[in-house]
Amino acid sequence: MPYFKCTPCRLRIDGRGPEMDLVDGRCPTCGGRLAPVRQLTEVVGFQSFRLGQPSARSGEDERDAQRWLDEGGSVSSEAVARSAPPPKP
């Protein structure tokens, strides 16, 4: 099966597309390793990640993914700090 998935992010990527070359086997959202899909039923309801695809959040996901790729696909402490939930009082 030529698809890969990130279960925590509920994201699927076509392994034959240019997106797979760009993400280098890692989830463009969380940076975790992508897992191969053995059956299509594993990714029912997962969002497809494609370059240039409009998102439900007005392109925010694509800008984040592109920024991640532009930075070499690594996770910076600044990015982690921005996405961390606020501390509980």
Cβ pair 55, 18 in contact under 8 A: no
Across the chain, mean pLDDT equals: 77
C-alpha to C-alpha distance for 5 and 41, rounded to whole angstroms: 12
- Locus of tokens 């299509």: 40
The domain locations on the chain are: 3-83
Q: What's the predicted TM-score (pTM) here?
A: 0.54
Q: Give the distance from CA 28 to its chain's centroid.
A: 3
C-alpha to C-alpha distance for 51 and 66, rounded to whole angstroms: 9
| pLDDT-based confidence at residue 50 (cuts at 50, 70, 90) | confident
Give the tens place of pLDDT for each residue, 58-73.
566 667 777 767 766 6
Q: For 16-60, where are the E strands, in sequence order?
A: 35-36, 47-48
